[in-house]
Chains A and B, each alone.
Chain A
Amino acid sequence: MNGFKIVVLAKQVPDTRNVGKDAMKEDGTVNRAVLPAIFNPEDLNALELALQVKDKYPESVITVLTMGPPRAAEIIREGLYRGANNGILITDRKFAGSDTLATSYAISQAIKKIKDYDLIFAGRQAIDGDTAQVGPQVAEKLKIPQITYAEELKEINKDKIIIKRRLERGVETVSCQMPVLITVHSSADDCRPRHAKFLMKYKHARTNSELEENNELKDLINNREYLKITEWNVVDIEADITYLGLSGSPTKVKNIENIVLQSKEAKNLESTDQDLESFIIELIENHTIG
C-alpha cells in the first residue's frame, strides 16, 4: 500500500467572525449579503492534516467534499490550490432546510458512493452554527469510529493512525484503525497557503453548472478530465428524500425573536477626568470595588 484515500469535508460559510457595524441592518439583524463567503476556518485545519498524510504518503488521494449551493464550488478550487486532488459538490434544492441530521445523512450517502476511503477529515465545527454535530453524525451513519478535536497527527501507517486530541482541560493521544472520521480543532496547524503550481493547474476547474453559466471553458475542460469538479444531486447519491430538507429534519425553528433592547436607566459618562474620577469614587463608596 502506498497511499491513503482521504475525504475532507468542507463548508462554505458566511464570515461571522467580525460582524462589524456595517453588516448590521436597521432592525438589528445581520445582512448576510455583505458578509464574505469563506472556507470554514476549522475545515482548513482539517485539509492541512490531510495534506500532512499526503506529505508522508505522496500517492495518497485527497477529495474535498462539500454540500451547498452551486457557488460553494469556490471552496473546492481553494482546496485544489492547496494540494487536494479532486472535489465533489453535492448540491440540490431538496437539501434546503436540512438540520444537522439531514445534512449528515446527505454527506454520508455521498461518501458511500465514493465507497473506497481510509480517512475522513472534517473541521470540528462551522462558525455559522457552532454545533460540532455533523462530523460525529456522519461517522455514525457510516458505522465507523470517530476521533474528535484532533490537534496533531502523531503517526500513521497502514494499520493505524495516532492522533493527539485537544480537550477542554487537557490533551489525549489515541490510536485507531481505519477507516475513521477525524474532526480537527483550530489549535491544529494552520493550512498551508495556495501553491502557485496548483493555482495555475486548477484555476479553470469548474462544475457542470458553472460551465452552463459560462460556456467559454467547455472545450478546455472536456480535454482535461482533472478540471472537472464532480457535481452530485439527490438522485446521484441515492438519497431517500424524506430523510432530507425539512421533512428529514427533526428540529424545527418555532420562532425567531428579535430582541428589542429595553434601555436601562443608565448613567452616561464622557471620558473626562471629572466624569471618570467621580465614577470611580461612586464604585468605591458603594463597595463594588475596593
Chain B
Amino acid sequence: MRNVFVYCELEDNIIADVSLELLTKGKSLASQLNCKLEAIVIGSNLNEIDKQIYKYGVDKVHLADDKRLYPYLTLPHTSIVTKILNDNNPQIVLFGATSIGRDIAPRVASSLRCGLTADCTSLVIGDHYVKKDEKEYKNLLYQIRPAFGGNIIATIINPDMHPQMATVREGVMKMEVFNETYKGEIKQINVADYVSDTDFVLEIIERHIEKSKINIKGASIIIAGGYGVGSKENFKVLYELANILGAEVGGSRAAVDAGFIEHERQIGQTGTTVRPKLYIACGISGAVQHRVGMEESAMIVSINTDKNAPINSIADYNIHGNVAEVLPKLIHFYKKNSK
C-alpha cells in the first residue's frame, strides 16, 4: 500500500501545530484513498513523542532519535527523510511551509526527482485524463494555490513522478483529533544507517528562538491595512482603533513590502490565515492571495475609495471612503455609543 506521509516538526519536543494540522489533513486524504497515515519524527530524547500524535489517526511513526538531530540540521534530516521515502514509496508527502519545511522539502524533492508545490491553500483528491495519450490517472493530489496575478487559482498535479509533495502554511488547515484512543505503531530507525559524518559539516553556534509575540491567528477582531493606507504614519489610526476594540492589526503584502507594517502581520497565502469574527479591510484591494487568508472571517468590512475593489464583493459592509477620514469617525462613534 502506498501511504500518506507527514514530516513532523518539533519545538522542545512538542510537535508543532502546523504538523498536527497536516496530520489532520493527511488523515482525511488517507481515508479517502483507503490507505494509511504515517509520520516522520526526527529529533533527540523522543520518549513517548508518538503518544502526542496517534490521536490524529497516525498508523505508523518513523522515529529517528539521536542527540545530533536536534536542533534541526538540513543535511542529516534530508538524508533520513529521503531514505524513508525511498524505502516506503508513499503517494503523498506533506511538509509545513515553515523555516524548516521550506528548507528540507525542496532538497528532498530534488533528490527524489519529484514535484513539490509550495504554499498550497487547499488539497483534494481527483482524477486526471490526458487526451493525447488516452491515459487516465485516478486519485491524484490536486495541489491548489493562487497563481501570480489577478484572481487566478491554479490546480497543480504531479501525474508521473511520485511522491506528490506539497507544503502548507500554519493555520491553513484545521487541526482536529481523529480518535482519542487511536493507536498506531512505532518504527525506530537506526540512525547510523541513515546519516553519514559528512551530513554534519554545518555547525550551529548560537540559536535564539522566541515564541511569536504577535498573535493575529488567535485574534477575534482584525483591523487590516493595505497599500491604500498610504504610509506607516497613517497606520497609527489602525492601531488606535485596534486598541479600543481589543483587536490585532494585520496587513496586506503590499503594505508589508512598502514597510508600513512588519512581516509577522501579513495576512494571506504567504502570510497568516485568519478566521476572526470581524475583519476590517482598510485600503486593501483584495487580490486572491490576500483573500485566501481571510475570506472565512465571519464578518468582513471593507473601507475603500474604489467602489469596485474586488474585496467589496466578499464583504458584508462596504464603506465608500478614505481610510484616513473613516477610521477617526468610527473611533469617535464607538466611544460615543459604547458606554
**Which residues on A are within 8 Å of B, measured CB to CB?**
14, 16-19, 21, 24-25, 27-30, 32, 99-101, 104, 128-137, 139-141, 145-149, 162, 167-177, 180, 249-264, 266-271, 273, 275-277, 279-281, 283-284, 288-290
Contact = CB atoms under 8 A, between A and B. Distances in A.
Given A18-B254, A28-B310, A170-B207, 5 more contacts: A101-B110, A148-B99, A169-B212, A259-B153, A290-B334
A172 B337 contact: no
Interface in B101-118: 102-107, 109-111, 113-118
5 contacts: A251-B115, A251-B143, A269-B319, A269-B320, A288-B299
Contacts of A99: 115
B208 A132 contact: no
A175 B322 contact: no
B89 interface: no
Interface string B293-334: 000000100000011001011111111111001100110011
Interface stretch (B57-65, B155-163, B177-185): B155-163
Interface of B: 71, 74-75, 78, 98-99, 102-107, 109-111, 113-119, 128, 142-143, 147-161, 201-212, 221, 227, 245, 253-254, 257-258, 270, 277-278, 285, 287-288, 299, 306-307, 310, 312-322, 325-326, 329-330, 333-334, 336-338
B107 A140 contact: yes
A100 B106 CA distance: 9
B161 A168 contact: no
A29 B150 contact: yes
A221 B288 CA distance: 47
A266 B316 contact: yes
Contacts of A162: 205
A156 to B, nearest CB: 14
B210 A271 contact: no
A16 B148 contact: yes
A176 B148 contact: no
Nearest to B299: A288
B313 A16 contact: no
Nearest to B160: A250
B46 to A, nearest CB: 21
Contacts of A136: 74, 103-104, 106-107, 110
B321 A271 contact: yes
B149 A19 contact: yes
Contact of B202 (A30, A129, A174, A267): A174
Residue from B154, B159, B319, B322 with most neighbouring chain A CB atoms (10 Å): B319
Contacts of B78: 140
Q: Which 3 residue pairs are nearest across A and B when measured between Cβ atoms?
A: A271-B321, A30-B149, A250-B115
B337 A137 contact: no
B90 to A, nearest CB: 15
A288 B204 CA distance: 48
A189 B207 CA distance: 21
Contacts of B257: 17-18
Contacts of B118: 129-133
B322 to A, nearest CB: 7
A276 B333 contact: yes
A183 to B, nearest CB: 9
B99 A263 contact: no
A137 B157 CA distance: 19
Contact of A259 (B105, B143, B151): B151
A267 B318 contact: yes
Nearest to B206: A173
A32 B148 CA distance: 10
Nearest to A262: B313
A171 B151 contact: no
Nearest to B213: A169
Nearest to A168: B99
Contacts of B310: 28, 261
A18 B253 CA distance: 9
B306 A21 contact: yes
B152 A257 contact: yes
Contacts of B319: 269-271, 275-276, 279
A271 B317 CA distance: 12
B285 A21 contact: yes
A132 B106 contact: yes
A170 B317 CA distance: 38
A105 to B, nearest CB: 8
Given A262-B313, A266-B312, A266-B315, A146 B107 contact: yes
B321 A104 contact: no
Contact of B155 (A16, A174, A253, A284): A253
A170 B319 CA distance: 39
A133 B110 CA distance: 9
Contacts of B312: 263, 266
A47 B151 CA distance: 33
